Structure 1
Amino acid sequence: MVISGEYFGWNYGWATAGTIGFLIATLLVTILYIAFIFSYTELTTAIPDAGGPFAYASRAFGPTGGFIAGFATLVDFLMAPPAIAAALGAYAHFLHPELPVLGVAVGAYFVFIGINILGVKESANFSVIITILSVVELLVFMALVAPSYKTENVLAHNEGFGVGGIFAAIPFAIWFYLAIEGVAMVAEEVKDPHETIPRGYLLSIGTLVVLAIGTMLLCAGVGDWRQLSQIDYPLPETLAMALGRQNSWAKVFAGLGLFGLIASFHANTLGYSRQLFALARAGYLPSFMADVNKRFRTPHWSLIIGGLIGLAALYSGTTGEIITLSALGAVLMYIVSMVSLFALRRREPRLERPFQTPWYPVVPFVALALSLVCLVAIMWYFPGLTAIFAGLMAGCWLLFRFLILPTIRQ
């Protein structure tokens, strides 16, 4: 779900904060995610429901809490795939200039919605194989560019970036880790969730921290990082800077780099479909979206509707804007989830919790405080996108308040 965040998207943070400012933003966000995952795992194992944050907030605060969490999670997971699809198109165009970026992106939607309809077991097996290849490729990338690394390149060209740039770069630092929370969306389809989900979460966050920091620093240290700050294929471009543009590794890596993007696109498609399915099953969305295919037992309508929304975003926004919207939904969902954790600890002390947050309440409080900082920063530095988010949320709330809430209360 997350591995594509190491391949592209994060580098847009350099344009607003420089390498030093973005490193600070990334370290801040890394602390947030470590604290969040240790806290969120408690919720996921105690309430292994496909709704994820929606299920936790509904249990803690009722339908209104469920609406807020559900809306935020939908924005998070519906906006991530179009950003990844755009990068898929850019990588393919880098390899074969005759391939149109948007054409490849749209084609990816058709292919991977189809794969997800075929069944979750097949989807999971595909994801495991391609994710392993993606991680191995990142390690090979680091080994290839490490001899060209120079600390002076990392420190160069940072004049003119202030403290404000650090906060403006937060959405792109979040992109390193965004969607790790999506494991909760498939909790109902996991064997022994009480044991496997904590292990999966903790191994995942550890892997991502190493890959994120390593990739970012090595890319910055190879040459003039400003050349990488506005493109969707920073890793093959870094290889070209390190080894020469005629070197075959750059082209080979761009081809292999598609693995990371495919893995995340595929897994996020799975994630958004389960969220739409859970909301429809609970009566928050039209009931037909909770239908499952009779043969493959997958929520085909949720997969298709979510894909149409993603395609609309793909045609209407830039990669950076889509990433920012996804990050905005994510941090709001993190806030609601942490507040739900505190509320459930108080209201349901006897709820079975196979995994308990260490150093409670300090760890979830750190996650909550840093999520609030990130939310305020995004709202301050991206007022236009915040207005779009708020307008969509207000419109959905009115529909929910007058059309859906009365039926739920009945």
Structure 2
Amino acid sequence: MTEKSTEQLKRVLKPIHLWAIAVGLVISGEYFGWNYGWGVSGTIGFLIATLIITVMYVTFIFSYTELTTAIPHAGGAFAYAYRAMGPFGGLIAGYATLVDFLFATPAIAAALGSYLHFLYPQIPIIPSAMVFNLLFVIINISGVKESATFSVFITILAVGELLLFMGIIGPHFKMANYLAHPMPFGWGGVFAALPFAVWFYLAIEGVAMVAEEVKEPKKNIPKGYISGLATLIFLALGVMILTGGITDWRIFSKNMDYPLPEAIAIALGKANGLTKIFASIGLFGLIASFHGTILASSRQVFAMARSGYLPRFLSGVNHKFKTPHWAIIVAGLISCLALLSGKTDQIIVLSVLGAIVMYLMSMASLFILRKKEPNLERPFASPFYPVFPAVALFISAVCLFAIMYYNFYISLLFFAGLAVAIAIFVLMGKHKVRLTEENMVAEPGFVGLN
């Protein structure tokens, strides 16, 4: 039995909040992580990989926005796949989305600790990352409008800093440096670099997680996605290309979670006051994404718990703040555990693998729903259908095979977890339970399950 709860999340988010959430979720990808791609592909190899992934995200986001506006549900891909493919489709998409966001969070937390350690070597990386976890769990519980307003502030600072970064190192750029050792691993390196190119844009789809808290979602969500993606493409290409031309790029490609402060130090000298100032405000970009991924991952936990796919207590909404406090706390705990169990590059690959599977499920859902529900209201239709979703689907499939080939054990861990989730799902008989329309598309607010 299910019954309606009186607790609902407030519709308070405007386009500026969505832009900030979209850019804020992703912008840490410009600050760290992408540089690991150089280590497996070289500068030109990684540029090719990045351009391929940029095409994937442009086609994906324009297609995904159709789903987000037609089905404005906090579960995102979980809700779309459930509606298109039923319980197993929802489970696979939901699991993939959870891995995507839950493991993006600790990767960013590790980078936060690394930036702080760069500034103050006496501060250890992991304990400071744990402190950031606790602080932002509290901020997210305090209320979605308050946290979204914070996102606007912190994201504007982060974007401004990347523009400042490009302005500082631009005069030191030398094409000879950028073109040195351009593709040391050939075309195989391009495929190996795909997950690190995905990191440039990973999590922009998280805007869907707050769809039920947006004013006029069918009009405002496309504005948030499109403006956010345009901002990120410009920043990603600018930061990557300019950084690769200031010195031998290979020094950035391994075991470094703070490439931008290091680049400033090379350009200006480590004794220059701007170097530490930049590293200090560089924390803003990481904080913006860290804050956003906690927001998005907790909404995914909430939505799946509300639908009975996770323990029901995780769908509880705080009476005072109208936020899913238990989901936020559990997401924070998982982030802490991941910080203790793996390297940053491995956590990134695991997060990207979850994202790619989610993208595949989402594009498949789009095609199925076009056939299954031709009369579904679609305020924003995917342009150039079926070309855009087909391109996104194809490139996502290529990425999946590349990740599995070059990261076998991480892929094995991901799919083993999925197999366990499916087994528990079947043993509990969840595959026989049909969710009601009110629990999958709750208008105008969330519906809790008791």
Fold match (TM-score > 0.5): yes
Please show how residues 217-256 of structure 1 align to structure 2 within 5 Å.
217-230=241-254, 231-256=256-281
* Structure 2: segments with no counterpart, 5+ residues: 1-24, 436-450
1:141 aligns with 2:178: no
Per-residue deviation, 1:409: 4.2
1:359 aligns with 2:384: yes
Which residue of 2 is the match for residue 207 of structure 1?
A: 231
Structure 1 Cα separation of the partners of residues 316 and 393 of structure 2: 35
Structure 2 Cα separation of the partners of residues 215 and 150 of structure 1: 14
Per-residue deviation, 1:23: 0.7
Match of 2:327 among 302, 305, 314: 302
1:108 aligns with 2:132: yes
The answer (yes or no) to whether the contact 2:30–2:239 under 8 Å persists in 1 is yes
The answer (yes or no) to whether the contact 2:136–2:291 under 8 Å persists in 1 is yes
Which residue of 1 is the match for residue 285 of structure 2?
A: 260
The answer (yes or no) to whether the contact 1:73–1:329 under 8 Å persists in 2 is yes
Please show how residues 5-404 of structure 1 align to structure 2 within 5 Å.
5-158=29-182, 160-230=184-254, 231-404=256-429
Q: Which one-letter code corresponds to 1:253 in the other structure?
A: F
The answer (yes or no) to whether the contact 1:283–1:408 under 8 Å persists in 2 is no
Structure 2 Cα separation of the partners of residues 232 and 256 of structure 1: 15
For residues 287-310 of structure 1, give each alpha carbon's deviation from its aligned partner in whole angstroms, at most 9, with x where no partner exists: 000001111111111111111111
Structure 2 Cα separation of the partners of residues 119 and 190 of structure 1: 14
For residues 49-70 of structure 1, give each alpha carbon's deviation from its aligned partner in whole angstroms, at most 9, with x where no partner exists: 0000001001111111100100
Structure 1 Cα separation of the partners of residues 338 and 183 of structure 2: 35
How high is the TM-score relative to the length of structure 2?
0.90
SS of the equivalent of 1:98 reads coil
Structure 1 Cα separation of the partners of residues 281 and 325 of structure 2: 29
CA root-mean-square deviation: 1.0
Structure 2 Cα separation of the partners of residues 157 and 39 of structure 1: 37
Which has the higher mean CA deviation after the structures are superposed, 292-301 or 80-89?
292-301
Q: Which one-letter code corresponds to 1:13 in the other structure?
A: G
Per-residue deviation, 1:245: 1.4
* Structure 1: segments with no counterpart, 5+ residues: none
Q: Which one-letter code corresponds to 1:112 in the other structure?
A: F
The answer (yes or no) to whether the contact 1:2–1:177 under 8 Å persists in 2 is yes
The answer (yes or no) to whether the contact 2:45–2:183 under 8 Å persists in 1 is no
The answer (yes or no) to whether the contact 2:87–2:431 under 8 Å persists in 1 is no
Per-residue deviation, 1:159: 6.0
Q: Which one-letter code corresponds to 2:397 in the other structure?
A: L
Per-residue deviation, 1:122: 0.6
Per the alignment, do residues 330 and 406 of structure 1 end up closer, same or farther by CA in structure 2, a change over 3 Å counting? closer
Per-residue deviation, 1:404: 4.6
SS of the equivalent of 1:316 reads coil
Q: Which one-letter code corresponds to 1:6 in the other structure?
A: E
Structure 1 Cα separation of the partners of residues 43 and 370 of structure 2: 40
Structure with a larger share of its residues in helix = 1
For residues 21-50 of structure 1, give each alpha carbon's deviation from its aligned partner in whole angstroms, at most 9, with x where no partner exists: 111110110000000001000000000000
Structure 2 Cα separation of the partners of residues 128 and 354 of structure 1: 26
SS of the equivalent of 1:97 reads coil
The answer (yes or no) to whether the contact 1:284–1:404 under 8 Å persists in 2 is no
Structure 2 Cα separation of the partners of residues 155 and 404 of structure 1: 57
Per-residue deviation, 1:406: 5.2
Which residue of 1 is the match for residue 430 of structure 2?
A: 405
Q: Which one-letter code corresponds to 2:372 in the other structure?
A: R
How high is the TM-score relative to the length of structure 1?
0.99
The answer (yes or no) to whether the contact 1:283–1:404 under 8 Å persists in 2 is no
